[in-house]
């Protein structure tokens, strides 16, 4: 999987929700196209330093949303019809730049999202 999932154990948002949200976003952005295979529950849990139940819950919620499917022998894959074409590089770059600026200024993600929502 090319998209990088991270978990902030100090965040107010539970780890399973951080994982679920990031995977859903990667699917919406086209970074995880239809048929993309997600890491196994055990592998992702090990990589993130969380319990396997945490990743399993995130995957279960993604499956309930219809975003992924669990298949025997194929693992968990992005479901058909939900992945979108990759966003324009300029927009993705602008978001990356904004995140970098916010972090450099000490603005956390929650505050940044609140600022964006107020402006829309």
Q: How confident is the model at residue 76 (pLDDT cuts 50, 70, 90)?
A: very high
pLDDT at 94: 85
Q: Is the pLDDT of residue 83 over 60?
A: no
Rounded distance, CA 33 to CA 68, Å? 11
CA 34 – CA 48 distance, rounded (Å): 24
More confident residue, 2 or 117: 117
Structure confidence by residue, pLDDT tens digits, 60-74 = 999 999 999 998 888
Reported as a pLDDT band with limits 50, 70 and 90, residue 120 is confident
C-beta separation of 7 from 18 below 8 A: yes
């Amino acid at each position: 999987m090319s998209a990088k999932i991270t978990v902030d154990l100090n965040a107010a948002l539970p780890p399973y929700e951080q994982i679920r949200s990031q995977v859903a976003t990667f699917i919406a952005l086209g970074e995880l196209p239809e048929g993309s295979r997600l890491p196994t529950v055990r592998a992702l849990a090990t990589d993130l330093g969380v319990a396997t139940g945490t990743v399993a819950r995130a995957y279960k919620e993604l499956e309930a949303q219809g975003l992924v499917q669990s298949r025997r022998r194929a693992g968990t894959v992005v479901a058909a019809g939900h992945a979108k074409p990759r966003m324009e590089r300029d927009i993705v770059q602008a978001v990356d730049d904004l995140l970098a600026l916010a972090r450099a200024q000490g603005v956390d993600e929650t505050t940044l999202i609140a600022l964006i929502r107020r402006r829309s």
